[in-house]
Amino acid sequence: MRSSKALRALPAVAAAVLALAGGQAVAAPASGPAQQQAVAARVLTYDASQAAEFKDAVTKGAGIWNTSVANVQLKPVAAGQRANIRIIADDGWPRTATTSLGSGTIYFGRQAVDQGYNTVRISSHELGHILGLPDMKPGPCSSLMSGSTAGVSCTNPNPNAAEKAEVEDNFAAALTGTAATRDLLFVD
């Protein structure tokens, strides 16, 4: 019992010795939930150079996710670097082909835009697939992942609480190295 008291007192003694010697005492890192929050978000880069007229919608969609979740952040790719996410404008229906959690290609289809669907909602929805979310069809406008089933009048580009929580969980697992990889194609 004496030795355990001595061991518990050791950090305080060491701090006092350092203070007397002119050194700096530093607290040990926290463990548990506080330490988990200190882990930096995973940064995913996106290349919107082929997004044509949808570049602004892509930027807004990425910004929505960046303010909605903490475990992952979407940033434009730097010149000369390879992006995790490519966004390509085409004449088909919007769709996303993932190669792993946080990686893949988004085809920003003009067909949905021509039918009246909101471009920022499309961008946020397709980025949701990259972040590991499946379609939730049919669904209400309050669900971003309800996609086209919410109708053209739905302009909500924001994930709901459940969608945010799922992305946070996906990337918490990715930060700890327990996330699974997968190749999927989402056609919205």
CA–CA distance, 54 with 119 (Å, rounded to integer): 7
DSSP the chain: -HHHHHHHHHHHHHHHHHHHTT----PPPP-SHHHHHHSPPEEEEEEEEE-GGGHHHHHHHHHHHHHH-SSEEEEEPPTTSPPSEEEEEESS--EEEEEETTEEEEEEEHHHHHTT--HHHHHHHHHHHHTTPPP--S--TT-GGGGGGG-TT----S--HHHHHHHHHHHHHHHHT-PPP--EEEE-
Distance of CA 177 to the CA centre of its chain: 15
| Catalytic residue (one of 53, 126, 163, 166) | 126
Q: Report yes or no: 181 and 100 within 8 Å, Cβ to Cβ.
A: yes
Asked about 126 being catalytic, the answer comes back as: yes
Handedness of CA 158, 162, 163, 165 (dihedral sign): positive
Catalytic residues: 126
